[in-house]
Amino acid sequence: MPVLSNQRGMTLLEVLVAFIILTMALVTMMNAFALGSRQNSGTNRYNTALSLAQSKMEEIKNCNFNSIEDVAATDFSSESDYSGFTGYSYGVTVDDSGLNLKTVTVEVTYSEGGVSKEVSVTTDVVKR
């Protein structure tokens, strides 16, 4: 059985090369985590906007048919029920066909990374 005569440890150069390779791998993984976090945040804002649009639509559907009208852009934070939702605004567009039917669209606008985004929900409301 051969005896190893060279029992030195790793040289400083080998340690530095290993450290650089490890650092590059960790930086790549951290970028993936950061990208995932940004995508998760964007999805959260989208889901919040969609929930606000659906909630506002339910309020409108519970109103008297004759009182359903267009609403100009309004901040959710200005309403007491939605005071915690700063940065989200909504508008309502009503298309009255005149046949006891109104097509109502609620559009919620929010900002994501400096870019304005929209979510809209549309339904028909019939006079009862």
Percent of the chain with pLDDT over 70: 94
Residue ranges covered by each domain of the chain: 12-126
65-89: pLDDT as tens digits: 889 999 999 999 888 888 889 999 9
- Which H/E stretch holds residue 69? none
Instruction: Give the length of the chain.
Output: 128
| Confidence (pLDDT) at 116 | 94
CA distances from 33 to 26, 27, 36, 44, 93 (A): 11, 10, 5, 16, 40
